[in-house]
Chains A and B, each alone.
Chain A
Amino acid sequence: MTLIAWAAEAVHESESAAGGLAALGLDWKALLFQVVNFAILLWLLKRFAYRPIVKLLEARRQKIEESLKTADAIAAEKASLDEEREARLAEAEQEAARIIAASKQESSRVLQVAQARGREQVESLRAEAQNALAQERRRIYTDLQAETLQLVRKAAERILRKKLDTEADARLMKEAIQEVKTS
């Protein structure tokens, strides 16, 4: 017997047996049918709808929970990375400051050394230039003196060749003889 046929039979019986409960307005068969029907519906719902939904919800809940955990972990990781980044930034800033200070010190030292060397070179060049100038001055003086003396000698020689006669030469020789005697 199908369920529908059973239900129709029950309705028929209930109608034919109207008396006791029927007097109270209650049809126990219909009630029973309703109860059974409800139980079946409940079982069907539980079997085919409630469990998958619960299972789906549970899976979703677990997934959400995992996501939340992952998010927490990511947040924690992010916080850790942020802290590490901040620490590294601070360390890098300190290192940069130290390098800049060292660079300034080194550049200052190099500048001082370069200035000192530059001064030394300038002094050396100046001394060399003065020396060269003095040498050139001496050379010019010597050349000029030599040229002047040569000119004087040539002029004197020319004059003496013309003007120095026998008498004057005799006087010169007498003076020379006296000079040799006394020397």
Chain B
Amino acid sequence: MKRYSKSELAKAYLTLSRSESPKVAVRALAAALVTARLTHEVEIVVREISRQLLKQGVVMAEVITAHDLSQELTSSIETLLRNLGGGKELRATYAQDKNIIGGFIAKLPTHEVDASVASTLRRISLPTSA
């Protein structure tokens, strides 16, 4: 069987997702990754999908917070991410992680915004030179 590159797999997923439901498209991608023995590189493939979407003007973002977000705050974050991503359309997913204590972390295809309290505490705990 022919081995596909990560970029080819990402493009195939996007093509399939236009005609099929997301569930079907994700299953097909997972099967392809298992066949190509690329399951350990699933994150890279997902980033590649995000990059391909960004080329089409769609910004994919994953937002992690410690608490529930109000509508106002969600809107502010999405505006910020849209500006940072440079795309017209934003597809954001939200997740909660108490380990970040407070603030938020936004993962974009091109970069990451870490405005979490845990990250701030880590920074201040790094010793400066004597």
**Contacts of B102 on A, CB cut-off 8 Å?**
160, 164, 168-169, 172-173
Is B115 among interface residues, defined by CB-CB distance under 8 A? Answer: yes
Main secondary structure, interface of B, reads: mixed
Which of A141, A149, A169, A181 is within 8 Å of B80, CB to CB?
A: A181
Interface code A139-180, partner B: CB below 8 Å = 1, 0 otherwise?
A: 001100110011011001100110011101110111011011
**Contacts of B83 on A, CB cut-off 8 Å?**
181
- A contact set with B: CB distance below 8 Å: 137-138, 141-142, 145-146, 149-150, 152-153, 156-157, 160-161, 164-166, 168-170, 172-174, 176-177, 179-181
Is B130 among interface residues, defined by CB-CB distance under 8 A? Answer: yes
List 20 additional contacts besides A149-B127, A161-B98, A170-B70; criterion CB under 8 Å: A138-B130, A142-B129, A149-B125, A149-B126, A150-B125, A153-B122, A156-B121, A160-B102, A164-B102, A165-B67, A169-B103, A172-B103, A172-B117, A173-B76, A173-B77, A173-B102, A173-B103, A177-B76, A177-B80, A180-B80
Is B1 among interface residues, defined by CB-CB distance under 8 A? Answer: no
Kindly state the separation between the CA atoms of A165 and B98 in the bound complex, as whole angstroms: 12
**Contacts of B58 on A, CB cut-off 8 Å?**
none
